[in-house]
Chains A and B, each alone.
Chain A
Amino acid sequence: MKLSLYVNGTLCHSEIAPGTTLLEFLRGKGLMGAKAGCDTGSCGLCTVWVDEVPILSCTYPAARAQGKHVTTIEGMRQQAALLGRYLAENGSEQCGYCSPGLIMTVLALEKEHPAATDAEISAYLAGNLCRCSGYAGQLAGIRAYLNRGKGALE
């Protein structure tokens, strides 16, 4: 079937098999940032945005994105690098496998709840699993990122 959608601002026309997930479609385009981690929509590694809303691309049919705007971490490189530096200050990206999905979710959180409390951050990111970090350093990094420009390190 034919699919037309915007990927990181660029209009793409593709021929896809009907069952293709958005994650398969994006990785097939060479966008390797989003990862598959669980196959059941439970780990958050595959998070990308569809029309600015974070979704799990491993369970999102590519066909559903017809005409929509898909944003991946490759399209958010500058913001991702900045947030990534805050995570890396605490060494909390560790293996990094969950980082792109986590970062896409945090960037969505920032737009939705720029003044989120720690508990709100944890709840918003509940679907982004990480086995390495214990989350504490990530929370500190996210906190510092959201507080940047408020006298915190830039």
Chain B
Amino acid sequence: MKTVNRPCPKKDAEALTTGVPAYTEDLIPPGSLCIKLLRSPHAHAKILSVDKRAALAVPGVVCVLTHADLPAARCTYAGQCAPESSPLDRYILEDRVRYVGDPVAIVAAETEQAAALAVRRLRVEYEVLPAVLDYEKALDAPVVIHPEADYCNRVAIGGDPRRNLLCSHSAAYGDVEEALARCDVVLEDTFHTQAAAHAMMETFRSFSYYDYQGRLTIVTSTQVPFHIRRIAAEALGLPPSKVRVIKPRVGGGFGAKQSIVSELLTAAVTFATGRPAYLIFTRRESFTASNSRHEMRLQVKVGATKDGIIRAIELYALANGGAYGEQSYPTSLLVGHKTIPLYAHAAFRHRADFVYTNTLPGGACRGFGATQGCFAVETMVNRIADAIGMDPAVLRLRNIPHPGDTMPAYFGDVLLSSGLDRCIQTGKERFNWDQRRFRREVAPGKVRAAGMAITMQGSGVPMKDVCCATLTLNDTGFYSLQIGATDIGTGCDTILAQMAAEVLSCRLDQITVDGVDTAHSPYDKGSYASSTTYVTGQAVLRAARQLREQLLDEAARRLEIPRCRAELNEQGVCDRENPEKALSLSALSGQLVLRPDCHYLTATAEHCCTYSAPPFMAGFAEVEVDLFTGAVTVTDFLGVVDCGTVINPALAATQAQGGILQGIGMALYEEVSRSSSGALRENSFLQYKIPARPDAPPIHVAFEPDWEPTGPFGAKSIGEVVINTPCPAIAEAVRQATGVSCSSLPITAEAVWRGIQRLSKE
């Protein structure tokens, strides 16, 4: 292959590295109103009145909007294919606020100073309600968070808002009791994972205006432009044709921007005033008033026979959905369905209950529940391996599914490709696992050891995700690829162009890529669920093949040669048997467009995946623990990934390294806590510590690709699978080094130190 499987630099690299205006904030039209929000200081309250008079008197203030000024149409902010599985449980603004940070009023002014001053001048009378801050106490609590009559589910998800039950999912296979009775070792524990923040470098932001066709146009840093178009029209009561969404370059998403966050608040101002307006979330707002990873308590029971076969897995997860139910249901599915299938011989029982609380809503977050489930299940499997005296890597090799196996815990799908066995074996060798996994003292009071874990994810949401692509040969001899897939920094514009270039036998620079403007781009459900390469890629592949056929037909006719002799290359089309006889791409395209016998060559293709091909990874972590302080440092990490054919090795390796470091941050640094009134304490980078450069260990990545028959060029996904293993691998390394079992994230120095003290007293 000439273009696929090459580390091509991203098409936007030069623009991004030289500071060309390309992101939402860089493009705000002059004269736009600045929007600031008044946010609730209470975790749960009714808004009795809002006195706007003093705010409106501030010079430069143009409008103040409260719930009384906006349409009352229940919607969800979750960017999902319709019908959404997330409950319709929100208004843009409501007379009830459900967490500290929930917006109360929108202020728009000619200047930022005026908007900020007007926010301070608003006088709100609240009836403070008792709040549910602890998700352990939410189910059947006397306080009901969503008592509204127009609460609505478009898809049955097992929830009951009267009980604060957002959704519930369960699944089972085999006779768990019988399997447990046959086991030589059965271990059980409870785990806790935190409401980690996405912490992408560009906070939430959008601006809006009416275009010349009277369309309410929202320019936004999002992963889901087409879902926003649909939901914004519903929420604002506009015809769908009167809403347009444009996605410029995006400064990272990690799932956070799979939800509507700023967009409707911005659009409401343009809707109300007719004026262009912008809303930029501060970092504090980004932490406290958006969405986070779902916090979870996971109870796991795992049983194995002494030959190392995992016979039974019981997994119960209770998760904090927060104030609104964005993406809770899909997250509930992934907790078990992307962890248990790795153990092919296990009977299982899995349930996940998500509850409403008066805290920051949970939302889509890289890994999507699989990360939380992986921490719990993989940690338990490591302990099982220890209990029966087996190398945990060897134990995995005895349990993993192989191509051709039916996976009862993966919706009964048959596994079509897997390089997981090679991921484990290669990882063992390259990491020098057999030596490094055991505890050794490297300096007085400093010990090292290693741990490992395996994981899987999916590639797209089967039977729901539809992605389209349009390829055109232009009048002047270059191709354009139009996509609705949203490059949020991962490089999908480039990766998809690589696929098209491969089929069209051209150079990457002969294809321009444009996305996303819902007025011009073909439909795409957006970039989430690790789907862009796998699902949109198939659409691009199909469109490119169709265009290639059209091109060869036309060129053969015009060259007067048999079709089978026409050969496409980067110059154009030539006669295979007489290469002198050729039509350059520009000559051909000119003939095709600029003459009476014209034939404008364009192909649009779509793809809906019917199977979500799982990528796999084996992760190996070495840690050093300071026995005096309990401080844990990761000294080395190796991830070996099967993402199928690697379309762009440089971008895939970076995705892996970034995901692994994000996982390390979740494992060790990223702490989340709330005040007694429910305010999130970690609301800046001063408190919420994402890994900085000196924190980052050497992170090595290797690929063990297996050809995936359902993916473009044999590819699967990589975006999410890479974040899952650091938490369990590091927890195991700490246990090997110190004997301390960490069941709660992050693994702080204090927790390890306390564990060491406890063990020394026993």
Contact = CB atoms under 8 A, between A and B. Distances in A.
A96 B221 CA distance: 13
Interface in A55-112: 72-74, 77, 80-81, 83-85, 87-100, 103
Contacts of A73: 18-19
Contacts of B698: 136
* Chain B facing A: main interface SS: loop
B292 to A, nearest CB: 14
Given A37-B283, A74-B19, A91-B491, A96 B692 contact: no
B17 A81 contact: yes
Contacts of A87: 13, 17
Nearest to B700: A136
Contact of A122 (B7, B26, B694): B694
Contacts of B254: 131
A37 B201 contact: yes
Contacts of B250: 95
A43 to B, nearest CB: 6
Contact of A94 (B113, B489, B685): B489
Contacts of B10: 88, 91, 93
B489 A95 contact: yes
Q: How many interface residues does chain A have, given as a range?
A: 35 or more
B722 to A, nearest CB: 9
Interface residues of B, number: 60
Contacts of A80: 17-19
Nearest to B490: A94
B14 interface: yes
B282 to A, nearest CB: 5
B489 A128 contact: no
Interface string B483-498: 0000011110000000
Interface in A129-150: 129-137, 139
A137 B650 contact: yes
Interface stretch (B161-169, B583-591, B658-666, B744-752): B658-666
B693 interface: yes
B236 interface: no
B654 A132 contact: yes
A59 to B, nearest CB: 12
A94 B250 CA distance: 10
Nearest to A33: B19
B7 A91 contact: yes
A32 interface: yes
A124 to B, nearest CB: 9
Contacts of B26: 32
* Chain A facing B: main interface SS: loop
Contact of B7 (A35, A89, A135): A89
Contact of A97 (B251, B662, B691): B251
Contacts of B648: 91
Contacts of A89: 7, 9, 650
Given A90-B650, A91-B651, A99-B16, A131 B282 contact: no
B13 A84 contact: yes
A34 B26 CA distance: 10
A137 B283 contact: no
A39 to B, nearest CB: 5
B696 A85 contact: no
Q: Of B7, B25, B653, B684, which is in contact with the most chain A CB atoms at under 10 Å from its CB?
A: B653
A36 B685 CA distance: 13
Contacts of A88: 9-10, 13-14, 17
A45 interface: yes
B17 A100 contact: yes
Interface in A1-47: 17, 27, 30-40, 42-43, 45
Interface string B541-580: 0000000000000000000000000000000000000000
Nearest to A80: B18
Contacts of B22: 96
A105 B251 CA distance: 19
A35 B23 contact: yes
Q: Of B113, B251, B283, which is in contact with the most chain A CB atoms at under 10 Å from its CB?
A: B251
Q: What 7 pairs between A and B have smallest CB-CB spacing?
A: A33-B19, A95-B489, A84-B17, A96-B16, A97-B251, A134-B657, A88-B13
10 contacts: A30-B21, A45-B201, A91-B650, A94-B490, A129-B692, A132-B201, A132-B252, A132-B489, A136-B696, A139-B693
Interface of A: 17, 27, 30-40, 42-43, 45, 72-74, 77, 80-81, 83-85, 87-100, 103, 121-123, 125-137, 139
Given A96-B489, A97-B252, A134-B657, 10 more contacts: A39-B282, A40-B283, A87-B13, A93-B17, A94-B491, A97-B200, A99-B16, A127-B692, A131-B198, A134-B662
Interface of B: 7, 9-10, 12-23, 25-26, 113, 198-203, 249-252, 254, 280, 282-284, 488-491, 648, 650-651, 653-654, 656-662, 684-686, 690-694, 696, 698-699
